[in-house]
A and B are shown apart, each in its own frame.
Chain A
Amino acid sequence: MATTGQVESLIYSRPESLTPTGTHYCPGCTHGIAHRLIAEVIDELGLREETIGVAPVGCAVFAYNYFNMDFAEAAHGRAPAMATGLKRVSPNKIVFTYQGDGDLASIGAGEILHVAGRGENITVFFINNAIYGMTGGQMAPTTLPGQHTTSTPLGRDVEVHGFPMRMCEILSQLDGSAFVVRRSLHDVANIRKAKKAIRQAIEAQRQGLGFTMVELLSSCPTNWGMTAEAALHWIEEHMIPMYPLGDYKIHPALVTAKD
């Protein structure tokens, strides 16, 4: 076969930081996007061999099957404490946790508060989909008022179940926080912004600036009882008003670097 003289250039492939494994996530779930963005950033920064991840209890419990790097699996909510132990004895490694809203804002509320308060040099990827996924759609601390779940069949009544907790707003108040931002995965423009934030968070960790967290508003079509597309619209129409996107804490050193 004659060559045309044209050189093929690869413009899209699986990041080295992801394993060639199909995930167990439901169709339309945004976990896959979050995994890929993190993996792309780790590849681009050349940190795969220096990174240790900590998986949560929740839908991402098997994250270590998909990330191609050293990983530990924590008890429910304890990933920030486990990451603290890892980071303190391996200060030159990049340590991140990947946690859902039940894991981080409910059972692990104490651990996340203190890891931020200490200014622990780790990065937390916080997947907020306003529901418990793995156990089949129960109320999370982030469930919206009126939202139907299997444990709030009449909708979340704030008189009974209290109000949603906004974790970026809470954690950004602590002096140990260096980079705390909220992004969304509901469309391409926001996905690109999310990736940039993930990169900034890991770079802040490398600089040893303190606690870093990227909250990612995510969809759960299965437990929301919606099509994948409707779920993305639901993020935009219902979650963002409750959880405004934005930069809640940016360390002065990062501001200077941007300018």
Chain B
Amino acid sequence: MARELLEGNVAFAEAAVRAGCEAYFGYPITPQTEALEHMSKRMPELGRVFLQAESEVAAINMVYGAACAGVRVMSSSSSPGISLMMEGLSYIAGSEVPVVLVDIMRGGPGLGNIAPSQGDYNQMVKGGGHGDYRPIVLAPATVQELIDLTVEAFDIAEKYRYLVVVLADGSLGQIMEPAELPPMRATRRPEERPSWSLTGANRRGPNIITSIYIDPVEEEKFNRKLMAKYAEIEANEVRWREQYTEDAEIVIVAFGTAGRVALSSIKAAREEGIRVGLFRPVSLYPYPFDRLRQMATQVKSMLVVEMNGGQMLYDVKLAVEGRVPVSFYGRMGGVVPLPDEILDEIRKLHHSLRVGG
């Protein structure tokens, strides 16, 4: 496959098609609507299912139904739409069906705006809906990563029979950059649907998919089963990227677009002789706590950069456990930080280390 100039929203939609996605249900919302539009054209021409739902509430419940039938299914939306899906996401987690969801985040709270934001970190990474669940959350920083993680999301969702969220922001959804799409995979044939799925009780007992356990003891037993699944996920699915960290005194911790902008600042700071590196979590759940904790023994200071008021910040502090000072720089409301702003923060930290040390 050749590299081509691709818009983020179209790229992840086409990546899903090539990963064997058999059904897409969604509702238009800026800044991810190009994904829905791409699916409206591509899915029918491949004989697959596209349906524009009457709301995000309906869309996620259509996804839930199709997932129960054992097909690869997804939706995509942006922050206010994702808020509406929270009920469905809790049911999906509580029913253990594989689902992929892409959240192209925008400014909030409320109607907010349509500019890039990372304000959904808490809502997505910590669960959002009711009950003890948290989706697997993958955070790309480039269109290529958005493609690769979307494809991977389908495999991970099926591996754990679980919900996988690709968490990106409006700038990544709207940006155009060179990237390579994967080859087309075949979709699953109807007779290959998983043994647990609802295909009609033909030559077997009925399959039942539910999230209700009326007896608290049974409900707790189910919760323990989920906990065991989370432990497995935490053991196998932690992902992160590091750049310039080998000799770093200062480490910037940032995910997605914030990490990408921070990298420019780090390169500029390096030219000034400041030893600063980037730690970019790619899986936000499971979070790379161990590596970050280890890093806290090697560096003198950490700076968390986010496009929100400081949400991932608490996970960094939890990882570091006070071993090094953790400072924060955030822009909110759809404002993307400029490399110079982050560079200034790096210089300030560098200066305080010199003065203090």
A interface residues with partner B (beta carbon < 8 Å): 48-52, 54-55, 61-62, 64, 67-75, 78, 81-90, 93, 110-111, 113-114
- 8 new A-B contacts, CB < 8 A, other than A73-B209, A81-B58, are A70-B206, A75-B87, A81-B59, A82-B61, A82-B65, A85-B68, A88-B23, A90-B190
CB distance from B67 to the nearest CB of A (A): 7
- Interface: B162 (CB within 8 A): no
- Interface: B63 (CB within 8 A): yes
CB distance from B136 to the nearest CB of A (A): 21
A62 to B67: give the CA distance in the assembly, Å: 21
15 A–B contacts, CB within 8 A, in A order: A50-B200, A51-B200, A52-B198, A62-B212, A71-B208, A73-B210, A75-B91, A81-B59, A85-B65, A85-B68, A86-B66, A89-B22, A89-B73, A90-B69, A110-B58
Nearest-neighbor residue (CB-CB) of B53 within chain A: A81
CB distance from A117 to the nearest CB of B (A): 8
With A50-B200, A85-B69, A86-B65 in contact, do A72 and B51 touch (Cβ < 8 Å)?
A: no
Contact with A along B59-92 (1 / 0, CB 8 A): 1011111111101010000000000000110010
Partner of A72, one of B54, B198, B203: B198
Q: Among the interface residues A61, A74, A82, which one has the most CB atoms of the partner chain B within 10 A?
A: A82
CB distance from A114 to the nearest CB of B (A): 4
A241 to B53: give the CA distance in the assembly, Å: 36
Partner of A70, one of B61, B65, B207: B207
- Interface size of B by CB at 8 A reads 40
- Interface: B154 (CB within 8 A): no
Nearest-neighbor residue (CB-CB) of B59 within chain A: A81
Partner of B206, one of A68, A75, A78, A93: A68
In contact, A78 and B57 (Cβ under 8 angstroms): yes
With A50-B200, A71-B198, A85-B67 in contact, do A111 and B61 touch (Cβ < 8 Å)?
A: yes
**Interface of A (DSSP majority class):** helix
Nearest-neighbor residue (CB-CB) of B71 within chain A: A89
A141 to B66: give the CA distance in the assembly, Å: 30
In contact, A111 and B91 (Cβ under 8 angstroms): no
A140 to B219: give the CA distance in the assembly, Å: 29
Q: Among the interface residues A62, A68, A84, which one has the most CB atoms of the partner chain B within 10 A?
A: A84
- Interface: B49 (CB within 8 A): yes
In contact, B66 and A89 (Cβ under 8 angstroms): yes
Q: Which residues of A contact B230 (CB under 8 A)?
A: none
Contact with A along B88-117 (1 / 0, CB 8 A): 100100010000000000000000000000
Q: Among the interface residues A51, A86, A90, A114, which one has the most CB atoms of the partner chain B within 10 A?
A: A90
CB distance from B243 to the nearest CB of A (A): 42
Q: Which residues of A contact B210 (CB under 8 A)?
A: 55, 64, 71-73
In contact, A84 and B51 (Cβ under 8 angstroms): yes
A212 to B95: give the CA distance in the assembly, Å: 28
- Interface: B201 (CB within 8 A): yes
In contact, A85 and B25 (Cβ under 8 angstroms): yes
Nearest-neighbor residue (CB-CB) of B60 within chain A: A81
In contact, A64 and B61 (Cβ under 8 angstroms): no
With A84-B65, A85-B65, A114-B54 in contact, do A90 and B206 touch (Cβ < 8 Å)?
A: no
With A74-B61, A75-B88, A85-B23 in contact, do A69 and B201 touch (Cβ < 8 Å)?
A: yes
